[in-house]
């Protein structure tokens, strides 16, 4: 029997009230047989509950977890897997609509025998909306689609309403990390996060946004250097 079709590959009509899609293609090439099989065997075990079904209780996902982290757009899953391995006490929620990226992440989870990862193979905004107030210790957004043409800026993930939602789900003292290799998007995101009540930019000198944080994990995407600048690291804290 062929592997079941991943949820994000299924054709779902877009609601007229849904936000504009903030990501590009959801599939590039055929998924390798081993990874495709993981959609049948592993994904059902670690898939996040459907956010459209109601609120997501983070404590139910991993009762023994002492922290809860969210990575939005985890790409191939290298960063997510590395953070999960380094912080086994923390629940790692990863959201990624790109099917090939989810397949790669499943491989990393299996090979690392990672028990603290939960995946959502669709739009992260629905997950954030379903999370309770002050439920996350960290949020990481690494190299989101820049939509760098001016007419496409409205499709960027970071918009005022979503920035407010991210602040809502962060605990007091929780951290939000945004990384991009596009100068314009860095300025765009900084402006919107600074305008978000409760978020404080943790930067005192240029090195704070030019140098990678100590726990940053370089991914294959970052190594490609597809943007117009070196990576810019913006770190915020919830008051």
For residue 40, the domain's CATH number is: 3.40.50.150
Q: What are the C-alpha distances in Å from 125 to residues 31, 39, 215? A: 25, 22, 25
Q: What is the pLDDT of residue 153?
A: 85
Note whether residue 82 is domain-resident. yes
* pLDDT higher than 50, residue 225: yes
For residue 69, the cross-strand partners are: 92, 138
Residue 124 in tokens: 């992260």
pLDDT digits (tens, 9 = 90+) for 44-74: 999 999 999 999 999 999 999 999 999 999 9
Domain that holds residue 169: 27-238
Span of 1-15, 87-101, 105-119, 131-145 with lowest mean pLDDT: 1-15
Q: What is the CA radius of gyration of the chain?
A: 17
Q: Is 71 annotated as a binding residue?
A: yes
DSSP state of 195: T
Q: Does the annotation list 224 as a binding residue?
A: no
- Say what the pLDDT of residue 17 is: 52
Query: In 10 A of CB 191, how many CB atoms?
Result: 12
Is 145 part of any known ligand binding site? yes
Asked if residue 73 is part of any domain, the answer here is: yes
Helix orientation angle between 183-194 and 160-169, rounded to the nearest 10 degrees:
60
Give the model's pLDDT for residue 23: 47
Give domain status of residue 12, yes or no.
no
Give domain status of residue 2, yes or no: no
- What integer pLDDT is reported at residue 28 of this predicted model? 57
With respect to residue 115, please indicate whether it lies within any of the assigned structural domains. Answer: yes
Q: Is 229 annotated as a binding residue?
A: no
96 appears as a binding residue in the annotation: yes
Quote the pTM value: 0.88
pLDDT of residue 134: 98
* Assigned domain for 17 exists: no
7 within domain boundaries:
no
Give the span between the Cα atoms of 102 and 98, in whole angstroms: 6
pLDDT tens per residue, range 164-195? 999 999 999 999 999 999 999 999 999 999 99
Tell me the two tokens of residue 111: 């090979």
**Arithmetic mean of pLDDT, 30-39:** 89
Among 145, 208, 215, 228, the one annotated catalytic: 145
- Residue 215 annotated in active site: no
Task: Count structural domains, the chain.
Answer: 1
26: confidence class by pLDDT, cuts 50, 70, 90: low
Give the whole-angstrom CA distance, residue 92 versus residue 184: 29
How many Cα neighbours within 13 Å face the side chain of 171?
12
Asked if the structure places residue 9 within a domain, the reply is no
**Helix H or strand E segment including 133:** none
Q: Does 219 carry a binding-site annotation?
A: yes
Q: pLDDT of 117-135, one tens digit each?
A: 999 999 999 999 999 999 9
CA gap 184, 228 in Å, rounded: 9
């Amino acid at each position: 029997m062929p592997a079941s079709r991943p949820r994000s590959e299924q054709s779902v009509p877009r609601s007229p009230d849904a936000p504009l899609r903030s990501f590009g293609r959801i599939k590039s090439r055929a998924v390798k047989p081993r990874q495709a099989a993981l959609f049948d065997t592993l994904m059902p075990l670690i898939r996040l509950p459907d956010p459209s079904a109601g609120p997501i209780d983070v404590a139910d996902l991993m009762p023994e977890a002492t922290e809860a982290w969210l990575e939005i757009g985890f790409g191939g899953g290298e960063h997510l897997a590395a953070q999960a391995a380094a912080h086994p006490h923390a629940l790692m929620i990863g959201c990624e609509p790109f099917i090939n990226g989810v397949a790669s992440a499943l491989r990393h989870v299996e090979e690392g025998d990672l028990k603290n990862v939960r995946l959502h193979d669709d739009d992260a905004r629905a997950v954030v909306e379903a999370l309770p107030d002050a439920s996350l210790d960290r949020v990481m957004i690494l190299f989101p689609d820049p939509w760098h043409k001016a007419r496409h800026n409205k499709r960027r993930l970071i918009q005022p309403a979503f920035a407010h939602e991210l602040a809502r789900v962060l605990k007091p003292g929780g951290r939000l990390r945004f990384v991009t290799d596009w100068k314009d998007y860095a300025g765009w995101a900084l402006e919107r996060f600074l305008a978000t009540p409760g978020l404080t930019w943790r930067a005192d000198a240029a090195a704070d946004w030019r140098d990678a944080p100590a726990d940053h994990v370089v991914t294959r995407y970052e190594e490609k250097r597809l943007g117009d600048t070196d990576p810019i690291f913006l770190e915020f804290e919830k008051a």
